[in-house]
Amino acid sequence: MTTAIAPRLMGKRILVTGAGKGIGRVTAEMLVSEGAEVIAVSRSAEDLGSLAERTGCRTHIVDLADAGAAGAVARQALPLDGLVNNAGVVELAPFLETTAALFERVMAVNVRAPMLISQIVARDWIRREARGAIVNVSSLASLWGTPDHAAYGASKAALDSLTMTMANELGPFGIRTNSINPVVTLTPMAERAWSDPAKAGAMLARIPLRRFAKPKEVASVICFLLSDAASMINGVILPVDGGFRVA
């Protein structure tokens, strides 16, 4: 007689930001398939509507560039068992043409929002003496000087640093924080940034697997890090890059 294996995230309540498209959407769908209750956040009502219809998850339309709105959605989502800080924006410009306004917009969504949301969620875990897991979705751009990515790369490097500090300070409370750093992943945002064949070819040539990542390959790592199977993994900056760094 075969014993059924329960989904590894059964009954877990998890907030996913940037869940409307790309990595966030596939992550939300995968989490639901693993038995989790998902609260999905995005700026797009249309994207959230189709996601809710497909998965039954709860949704919130929020622009995380608004610090007050970011905090409010985190409080509304409580109590949680896991958090995926996936929302991100990319605005491409050469370093010498990167304006203060552009830099601030990118940092607001890619760094400030994860910090504010994580603070609210972690305070609730500590108050309840509950364990939890946070996954920050960073980028290989934090580890490599990608042309035209001055603001984006800086924001993801800041997110990695934030991850390590969170892991150190929150670890004693049983709260794990990890960062994943995908190579170019075939999402709508990445397709805009890497539509130039010459630019894409140079990147592909440095990836031993000779291809970019698929959203489901990144989402599967996120689900693993949220699960009890990763219970001793904390403070990791984990490239999902097909071997880019060793080439």
pLDDT in tens, 51-61: 999 999 999 99
- Is 12 considered catalytic here? no
- Classified as helix, coil or strand, 247 is coil
Task: Determine the Cα–Cα distance for residues 150 and 141; give it in Å rounded to an integer.
Answer: 9
Task: Please report the pLDDT score of residue 198 as a whole number.
Answer: 77
Domain interval for residue 87: 13-237
Token duo for residue 99: 């304006």
Asked if residue 21 belongs to a domain, the reply is: yes
Max mean pLDDT range (1-15, 117-131, 189-203): 117-131
Q: How confident is the model at residue 5 (pLDDT cuts 50, 70, 90)?
A: low
pLDDT at 6 over 70: no
Asked if residue 24 belongs to a domain, the reply is: yes
Task: Please report the pLDDT score of residue 1 as a whole number.
Answer: 47
CA 177 to chain CA centroid, nearest Å:
12
Is the preceding omega at residue 172 within 30 degrees of 0, hence cis?
no
Task: Determine the Cα–Cα distance for residues 200 and 150; give it in Å rounded to an integer.
Answer: 18
Asked if residue 245 belongs to a domain, the reply is: no
Please write down the long-range contacts of 31-35, taking CB distance under 8 Å and 24 or more positions apart: 31/223, 31/226, 32/56, 32/57, 33/7, 34/7, 34/8, 34/9, 34/10, 34/223, 34/227, 35/6, 35/7, 35/8, 35/9, 35/10, 35/11
Task: Please report the pLDDT score of residue 196 as a whole number.
Answer: 75
Virtual torsion, Cα 181, 115, 79, 129, nearest 10 deg: 100
Percent of the chain past pLDDT 70, that is, above it, reads 96
The mean predicted confidence, pLDDT, of the chain is: 93
Annotated catalytic residue within 12, 156, 214, 216: 156
Asked if residue 246 belongs to a domain, the reply is: no
Task: Please report the pLDDT score of residue 75 as a whole number.
Answer: 98
Asked if residue 7 belongs to a domain, the reply is: no
- Is 214 considered catalytic here? no
Compute the average pLDDT of residues 194-221.
87
Annotated catalytic residue within 12, 21, 152, 216: 152
Asked if residue 6 belongs to a domain, the reply is: no
Task: Please report the pLDDT score of residue 180 as a whole number.
Answer: 98
Task: Please report the pLDDT score of residue 187 as a whole number.
Answer: 81
pLDDT at 13 over 60: yes
Compute the average pLDDT of residues 167-178.
98
Asked if residue 4 belongs to a domain, the reply is: no
Task: Determine the Cα–Cα distance for residues 247 and 243; give it in Å rounded to an integer.
Answer: 7
Q: Which helix (H) or strand (E) holds 222?
A: helix 215-226
Compute the average pLDDT of residues 178-185.
94
Q: How confident is the model at residue 189 (pLDDT cuts 50, 70, 90)?
A: low
Token duo for residue 108: 């607001």
Compute the average pLDDT of residues 183-191.
80
pLDDT at 46 over 70: yes
* CA-to-CA dists, residue 192 to 1, 109, 152, 189, angstroms: 51, 19, 14, 5
Task: Please report the pLDDT score of residue 87 as a whole number.
Answer: 97
pLDDT at 157 over 70: yes
Task: Please report the pLDDT score of residue 200 as a whole number.
Answer: 81
CATH of the domain at 99: 3.40.50.720
Task: Please report the pLDDT score of residue 204 as a whole number.
Answer: 87
pTM across the whole model: 0.94
Asked if residue 247 belongs to a domain, the reply is: no
Q: What is the dihedral sign for C-alpha 178, 152, 50, 213?
A: negative
DSSP 187: S
Task: State the total domains in the chain.
Answer: 1
